[in-house]
Amino acid sequence: MARNPRKKSVNGIYHIIIRGINRQIIFEDNGDKIQYLKILKRYKEISKYKLYGYCLMDNHIHLLCKETDESISDIVKRISSSYVHWYNAKYERSGHLFEGRFKSETVEEVRYFLTVLRYIHQNPLKAGVSKSVLNCKWTSIREYLDKPNLVDTELALQLFSHDEKKALELFKAYTCDLNKENCLEVKNSVKIADQEVLEIMRSLGIPNSSSLQQMNKKERDKLLKRLKEIEGVTIRQVARITGISKSVVQRAK
C-alpha cells in the first residue's frame, strides 16, 4: 500500500521526530550526541535550513526547523545518512539505524510554534532524565540562554518582545511553565527507564548495543535472558535498546 504523502507546510516550518529502528538506542554516549550536533551544523551551511530547537534523547530526536533551498525530506536524509555512516564505522556495524520514515507535523501558527518549542525543551524533564528545563545539556535551551552557535534564536525571542532582556525573561518563564501539551510525540510504555537498563547492561560487561550484537549466539542469548528476567523490563524494551529483533529476544533462553 502506498504511503500518504507528507503534509506540506505553508511556511516551511516542521516539527520532526527521528527515531531508532525498533526504537533502539541511537546515542550510546555523549560523544555520539556531539557528533550529531556537528552534523546538524554542517548541513545547515549546505542545505541552508533554519533550526529553531532540538532535543537529543537516547533513542529519538526532536527538531524544529524550516526548509529553504531544499525540502525537509532531503535535509533529514542528508543528516541521517551522514550520522549513520559515522555511527556504523565507530561501532563496527552495518545496516539501518533510523526508522525508514521520520515523523513530522507542520507548524504554521505563532502560538503553536512556541508550544512545540516549549514541548521540545521540556521533553527530557517529562521523560525523567533531567530535573530542570533550563539545565538540560542535550536540548537547544542553552543556545537561547547563552550565545547561540547552532540554533536560530531570534524568531522565538522576538515573538515575546523586541527588547532582548525582556524577551529572554518572558521566554524563560514560558519555557518553564509545565503543561500537558499534545504535540507530535514518541510513546514508550515501559516500567523501567531505558537508562537504567543500559546501566544494568554495563554492569554485566556490555558497554553498548553493538557489543551485544557481535557476541556469539549462546552468550548473547544468555545475556538477553538475564535482561528479560529483570522486573519491569519488557521484551519490546530490550529489543529497542539492543537493536536485536523482538522475536530473537523472545526466543532467548
Domain ranges of the chain: 13-176, 194-251
Label residue 222 by pLDDT band (50, 70, 90).
confident
pTM of the predicted protein model: 0.76
pLDDT surpassing 60 at residue 246:
yes
As a whole number, the mean pLDDT across the chain is 89
Residue in 68, 63, 64, 61 with CA at minimum distance from that of residue 47: 68
Which range among 27-31, 80-84, 90-94, 221-225 shows the weakest confidence by mean pLDDT? Answer: 221-225
Label residue 249 by pLDDT band (50, 70, 90).
confident
Contacts of 170 (CB under 8 A, 6+ apart): 160, 161
13-176 has CATH 3.30.70.1290 classification = yes
Query: CA separation (Å) from 64 to 103, 122, 153, 196?
Result: 12, 14, 11, 29
Strand 103-106 relative to strand 13-19, pairing: antiparallel
pLDDT surpassing 90 at residue 140:
yes
Label residue 1 by pLDDT band (50, 70, 90).
very low
Tell me the C-alpha distance between 32 and 86, whole Å.
Answer: 9
